[in-house]
Chains A and B, each alone.
Chain A
Amino acid sequence: MIEKTVAELSAALAAGETTSVALTQAYLDQIAAHNEALNAYITVCAESAIAQARAADEARATGSTAPLLGIPIAHKDLFCTAGVKTTSGSKILHNFISPYDATVVERLQAAGAVMLGKTNMDEFAMGSSNESSYYGVARNPWNLDRVPGGSSGGSAAAVAADLCAMATGTDTGGSIRQPAAFCGITGLKPSYGRVSRWGMIAYASSLDQAGPLCKTAEDAAILLNVMAGVDDKDSTSIALPAEDFTATLNNSLKGLRIGLPKQHFTSGLDPAIESAVRVAVAELEKLGAEVKEIDLPNSDLAISAYYVIAPAEASANLSRFDGVRYGYRCENPVDLEDMYKRSRSEGFGEEVKRRIMIGTYALSAGFYDAYYRKAQKIRRLVKEDYARAFKDVDVIIGPTTPSPAFALNSMKDSVTMYLEDIYTIALNLAGLPGMSVPAGFVDGLPIGMQLVAKDYAEATLLNVAHQFQQVTNWHKKKPVLTASEKTTEA
C-alpha cells in the first residue's frame, strides 16, 4: 500500500480498503526499516502521527472526505511545527521546539494530512547535496553512495523510498527540483507568492518558495490545492483567484508550444541526459505539442546574480541567530560580543558562514552598487529573457540538472557545487513556477526534465507533466531497498 500515489491512497481510504492508522503504521514501519540507511528524517513523530491518523479515521467515520484526509506527509525541517523540534538542518537550532505552526503545516493539518516527521536538509537550505546538514547527509535511495540532492534531499529521498506518501520542500535556487530529479520523483516550485512563507525559516526572502514533492504530477496538484493561497501573515503572498489544479490535468496538449532554450543544451550537459530529455520532448510532440528553439541570452549570469542576492538576504535573515532568544548559546561568554560571535561561529556550519560572509561583504559600505544593485539589474535581465520567450511559447523545457546524482564528498569546492544549479536558479530570480519530472535513467540513476511556465501558470505545468506521465513509466520506477541490519534492534 505504501508505494501508492496520494490519489490512489485517497481512493483506498474513501472505499474503506484501509485506514489512516494502518497506513500511518505501514509508513512508520518503512521508516524504521530504512531511515537508518537513508537518514531522510531528522525527527520521526510516531506517537503524534498515530494520534492524528486515529482522528482522521474518526473524521471520516463522521462523513469527512477531504482528499488528503488521513494521508501521511513529511515536512522539510525548516517548516515550523508546534511542539516539534525544528532545526533547519543546523546545530544552532538543535534544541528549538517551535511555538507555532507554519501556515503550510497548518493548512495541511486542517486538510487532515498526518505528519510523520521532519526531513533532513542542507543547513538553512544552503546546498545542493544535503551534505551540509548538521544531522548527517541523507542518502539517495537509488544508490546509497550518491547524494539525494538538496536542499530538500530528505523529503525527496523519503518520497522515493516510500518513507511517506508525499512531502513538502522549499526551493530558493532549485532545492525542490534538483533533489526531485536526483531521486526520480516529481517536484514543483510554485510561482513566488503562491504559497505562504510564514513559519518557514528564511534563507533568501525574495527567492524562497514552498512546494510539493510527490510521486506524480496529479499528487502535486492535489497537494498544491491545499498549500496555495494568500496569507495575511506573509505580505509577499499573492491574492489570486481560487484554482483547482486537478481540474485541468487532462487537458489536451494539442497546439501546446514548447520552447527548448539553446543555453540549456550546451557542452556542460551530460549527453545521456540531453538525449533522454529530447526523447521526452518527442513524447510531448506525439501528444500534439509544437517545439521550437528559444534564446535565454542571460542564462549564464543567473548564478552570479544569485550568489549575491541569496547570500545578501541570508546575511540579514540569519542575523536573528544571536544566542539571546532561542537556539544555541556558547559556553561561558566573556562579554556580549564574544557571546554573539562564538554562538554563531560554533552554531553555524562552514557553508552557512561562507554565505553570510559573502552577503555581508556585498552589502558593506562602498560595495552595495557594485554587487547588490548590479545583481538586481541582472535579475531584471534574466526576468526579461523569460518574458520575451513566453510571448512565443507556453512551456520551456530542458534538463533539471547537468548530471545525475553525484557521489558523496565528490564536490571539491563550493563553486563547483553551485554550478550544479545552473538550469534551476534563474526561475527563482524571475519568480516563475517550475517543475521536475522523471524522464529517464543514466547509469542506473534517475534524471529529471524541467518544465517552466509563465507567472502563476502552475496549472499548465501540472497539465503537461500529468499528460507526460500518462504515456511514460519513468515516474513508476522504484529503487530497490535493502533493510539495514540495525533496525531489528530499534
Chain B
Amino acid sequence: MALTKTEVEKIAHLARLHVSDVEAEEVAKGVSDILALIDKMQSVDTDNVEPLAHPFDAAQKLRPDVVTEPDRRDELQQLAPQSQDGLFLVPKVIE
C-alpha cells in the first residue's frame, strides 16, 4: 500500500524523526516499496499458527534483584553532549 504525506508525517513524529515537506514524498515512496515487499505475507493463511517471538521459544531468565554494577556516573556523563552536577541537560521543558 502507498502511504500518504500525512501518514508519513505521523509515523515520523512517532519515531521522533524530522521529515521536511520536500523529503516527505521520497520517504513515502521508499517506505511504500518496502511495505509492498512485506505484504506478500498477507497471502498466506496463518490462522492456526502460533507467533514465534524467539528463535528457540526460550523463556526470559531471571536473576536475583541485586545491584551488580558499580557507580560510574561521572565517567558515563562525560559522554553526554551537556551535563552538570550529575544531571543531563536538555532544552527547557517547563516554562
Interface residues of A (CB under 8 A from B): 96-97, 99, 192-193, 206, 232, 235-236, 238, 298, 300-301, 303-305, 307-308, 315, 319, 322-329, 333-342, 344-345, 348, 350, 353-354, 356-358, 360-362, 364, 370-371, 373-381, 383, 413-415, 418, 429-432, 455
Contacts and interface: CB of A to CB of B under 8 A. Distances in A.
B16 A340 contact: yes
A361 B44 contact: no
B30 A354 contact: yes
Interface of B: 3, 8, 11-12, 14-19, 27, 30-31, 33-42, 44, 46, 49-56, 58, 60-61, 63, 72, 75-76, 79-82, 88, 90-93
Nearest to B81: A329
11 contacts: A99-B76, A304-B38, A308-B38, A324-B90, A357-B12, A357-B15, A362-B38, A374-B42, A378-B44, A383-B55, A431-B54
Given A305-B41, A418-B37, A357 B11 contact: yes
Nearest to A345: B18
A301 B90 contact: no
Given A325-B80, A378-B41, A381-B44, A235 B60 contact: yes
Given A97-B79, A99-B79, A374-B42, 20 more contacts: A193-B58, A238-B56, A298-B44, A300-B40, A303-B37, A307-B38, A308-B38, A335-B92, A335-B93, A337-B16, A340-B16, A345-B18, A348-B17, A360-B11, A373-B51, A377-B51, A377-B52, A380-B51, A414-B30, A455-B56
Interface of B is mostly: loop
Contact of B17 (A335, A341, A375, A414): A341
A430 B55 contact: yes
A357 B44 CA distance: 25
A360 B90 contact: no
Contacts of A339: 90-91
B64 to A, nearest CB: 11
Minimum-distance CB pairs A-B, first 3: A431-B55, A376-B51, A329-B81
Nearest to A324: B88
B18 A370 contact: no
Contacts of A431: 54-56
